Every structure is written in C-alpha cells, then in structure tokens.
Amino acid sequence: MHFDLAKIAESDAYKLLVSTVVPRPIALTTTVDSEGRVNAAPFSFFNAVSSVPPVVVLGIAPGSAGGDGWKDTERNIRDTGEFVVNLVDEAIAERMNVCDVPFPSEVTELDIADLHAAPSVGVKPPRIAESPVSFECKRITGLSLGPR
C-alpha cells in the first residue's frame, strides 16, 4: 500500500506514522529553564540513532507555551544545552500522561504526576527516580522542520 503523506491531512499523517512505527518508546524528558524550574514532557517521536557516539533524537513539534512557537522542552534545551531522557514503563505510564497536559511554565509536572526528581550526575536537569532508565544528554545540534 502506498501513502503520499504530502497529500493527506497532517493529523492523518501523524496517525499513520504512530500506528505503523511500533513499538515506539516514550521519552519522558526533563529539562530546567534559565531560572532552574524543572519541566517534564513526554515525546513519542524519540529513539537512539547511534552508539558511537551515543546519540538520541527527540522529535519536538512546534508549540506555543511561551507564545514564541517553542515548547518549553525545546526552549530549555536550546537555552541550557542539557536534558534527560527518562524511559517509561507500564508502572509509570499513567503518570507520564499527566506530564502531557500543557501546564503553565511555572508548574512542575512531576509534582502533579507524583513522580520524583533525583539528581543527575553530569547535567543539571534531574532524572525521574521511578524511570527504569535515564539518559543524561547534552545537545549536539537542532534542526527545525517547518514553520514555528
């Protein structure tokens, strides 16, 4: 079967991608802003793409949390260069969904989701204590696709 993604609605293209590229790991990503406030947000467009050097990629869609077209996660990564990818298992899946609510920047999603921040070793953003695996990351580059 052939689909021309350029000729179907964005919402249909999204549904097609997320239903065919499986299993899809979820990156519950923690960042800190320039004032040290913690942000946590899940991203399903995520994967490891290299082992030497170790590289993970996050696909972050445009957002409007700050009115500038950037989601808090992307803004924080661009400003600080650091983030933590916390993998999600069944035990924390429901709490991860709470972090997907578009709260104001001053709200800490982890508190509302009853998840606990734990210190990271090499980056400022905390890891999530309940996550089975956490990758401490430093931004290598960014690529914008489409309008903001």
Contacts of 54 (CB under 8 A, 6+ apart): 48
| Domain annotation covers residue 146 | no
| Domain annotation covers residue 11 | no
Among residues 8, 121, 26, 136, the alpha carbon closest in space to that of 82 is found at 136
| Domain annotation covers residue 4 | no
- State the residue for tokens 């077209």: 69
* DSSP string for 53-67: TEEEEE------TTS
| Domain annotation covers residue 8 | no
| Domain annotation covers residue 69 | yes
pLDDT digits (tens, 9 = 90+) for 16-48: 887 887 777 899 999 999 999 999 999 988 999
pLDDT number for residue 18: 78
**pTM of the full predicted structure?**
0.86
Query: Structurally, how many domains does the chain consist of?
Result: 1
| Domain annotation covers residue 33 | yes
pLDDT (mean) for 49-63: 88
| Domain annotation covers residue 36 | yes
| Domain annotation covers residue 18 | no
Q: Report the CATH number that the domain containing residue 71 is assigned in CATH.
A: 2.30.110.10
pLDDT digits (tens, 9 = 90+) for 84-115: 999 999 999 999 999 999 888 788 999 999 99
Runs of H (alpha helix) within the chain: 10-20, 72-80, 93-98, 109-113
